[in-house]
Amino acid sequence: MDRMIYLAMSGAKSLLDRLAVTSNNLANASTAGFRAETQGFRAMHVQSDTQPTRTFVMEATTGADFSPGPLKSTGRALDVAIDGKGWIAVQLADGSEGYTRDGSLQIDENGVLQTRSGFNVSGGGGPISIPANNVVAIAADGTITAVPTTKLLTQATPIGRIKLVNPDEADLERSPDGLFRLRGGGEADADAKVKLSSEYLEGSNVNASEALVEMITIARQFDLQMKLMQSADGNAQQATKLYQMS
């Protein structure tokens, strides 16, 4: 009975962890460039002085699904999508570098090119500044060209190039801010093979229907674990009555 309760509690906890991950994925089903989070579990023995007595579930791996999301045309000049594999490099407040697939860009009040989350887009040598009174176009290789909106100047001028990288996916890990970073820190080298599709955005790779079905399955499995604990508790109560009668 003790073992039944222990196993049921361990299983219930792992299901709650899975539910949290699935709920987060579902909440980001419409987030541009989002990569679904994945989890892996394995059975572990509880070691004692004599021999293993119980088995519980332990989280083994936490990763991400790197499959591409669907591309959607937006007609917006500051929207870009990675064509195939690769990442857009952004600069963080502490000077480190992160990577994202969210190509919905904007220009802040200081003229700095940023993501919608407020991270500065890396130009290789630092942030990219957009001159005032200019419209921009982003080429497939990440080159940004500015065209003055005044009548006096009409010549297009390259003003920077978005740093595009393609590190090994096994070397990437998700950080709490939603960006990916290299394991152990450091910065990935720019990769000229990574290309952008201008005026497009990549959607989330989360399948909302599959996520909903998984949440229902998890709920049913959790209910089963609760019933096992109730059965174990009922057995314990009956055993206590038998001991009292003896």
Q: Specify the amino acid at residue 27.
A: A
Once rounded to an integer, what is the mean pLDDT over residues 200-220?
93
Cβ–Cβ under 8 Å, residues 69 and 81: no
**Residue 202 reports pLDDT greater than 90:** yes
Cβ–Cβ under 8 Å, residues 214 and 22: yes
Q: What is the largest CA-CA distance in the chain?
A: 104
Residue 179 CA, distance from chain mean position:
7
Distance CA 48, CA 124 (A): 55
Structure tokens at 210: 């599959």
DSSP H or E stretch at residue 23: helix 2-27
- pLDDT of 58 reads 64
119: left (phi over 0), alpha (psi -120 to 50) or beta: beta
**Residue 57 reports pLDDT greater than 70:** no
Structure tokens at 160: 């920077």
pLDDT in tens, 137-182: 999 999 999 888 876 656 778 889 999 999 999 999 998 888 999 9
